[in-house]
Amino acid sequence: MAEGPNPYLEGQLLLAMPAMGDPRFERAVVFVCSHSEEGAMGLIVNRPFQGLTFRELLEQLDIEVGEPVVDIPIQVGGPVETGRGFVLHSTDFIQETSLVVTETIALTATVDILKAIAEGKGPRHRLLALGYAGWAPGQLEAEIQANGWLTAPADEELIFNTPLEDIWPRAMQMLGVDVSMLSSAMGHA
């Protein structure tokens, strides 16, 4: 029997709609790392984390810091387990514990990848996030049905090489959405 298209959004982007109403996700772009009947997990890719540098994080974790240390920005990955770190990265660097999400994007949540990055041996593209966005079974689907999110194909260039403040408008533009026409208030014609 032929299977239908995959109903799950793993490897896709979620773009927050203005009417969402949750300030934690205002203009957020989330890369969906896993999605199944058990729920979903993703990382916000356009929210800077304030008050901690990569060097300071390495020092807190007692990771030997050489010179020079590549200063990669730290992101707010979401409101769940904000003390836990995740690295979304290109698949040119894969460890046994890495979750390969798409052909070009993987997720790793071990200290070893931070050590590799500090030594200049890590992945070509990477995004370090603290915390994640999580949804219970059926919750993400309900939020999409309620017009809280738009979905879009993931784009490596958008995720890793676009200034954070430009990610949401560019992702909307890729879908053909004119953000100047979006309103945060729902109305009736």
Domain boundaries, the chain: 12-176
**pLDDT single digits (tens) 136-177:** 999 999 999 998 999 999 989 999 999 999 999 999 999 888
Model confidence, pTM: 0.89
How many other CB atoms are there within 10 angstroms of residue 153's CB atom? 12
pLDDT of residue 68: 64
pLDDT of residue 67: 67
Tell whether the model's pLDDT for residue 188 goes beyond 60: no
Q: Which range has the worst mean pLDDT, 17-21, 175-179, 180-184? A: 180-184
Tell whether the model's pLDDT for residue 5 goes beyond 80: no
Quick one: tokens of 72?
């990669």
Q: Which range has the worst mean pLDDT, 4-8, 111-115, 182-186? A: 182-186
Tell whether the model's pLDDT for residue 22 goes beyond 70: yes
Alpha-carbon span 103 to 106, nearest angstrom: 8
Question: Pairing state of beta strands 105-108 and 74-76?
Answer: unpaired
What's the full length of the chain, in residues? 189
Q: What are the respective helix, strand and coil percentages of the chain, to the nearest 5?
A: 25, 30, 45
Q: Is the peptide bond before 68 cis (omega within 30 degrees of 0)?
A: yes
Do residues 130 and 48 lie in contact, with contact meaning Cβ atoms separated by under 8 Å?
Answer: no
Alpha-carbon span 75 to 180, nearest angstrom: 26
Q: Which CATH superfamily is domain 12-176 in?
A: VC0467-like (3.40.1740.10)
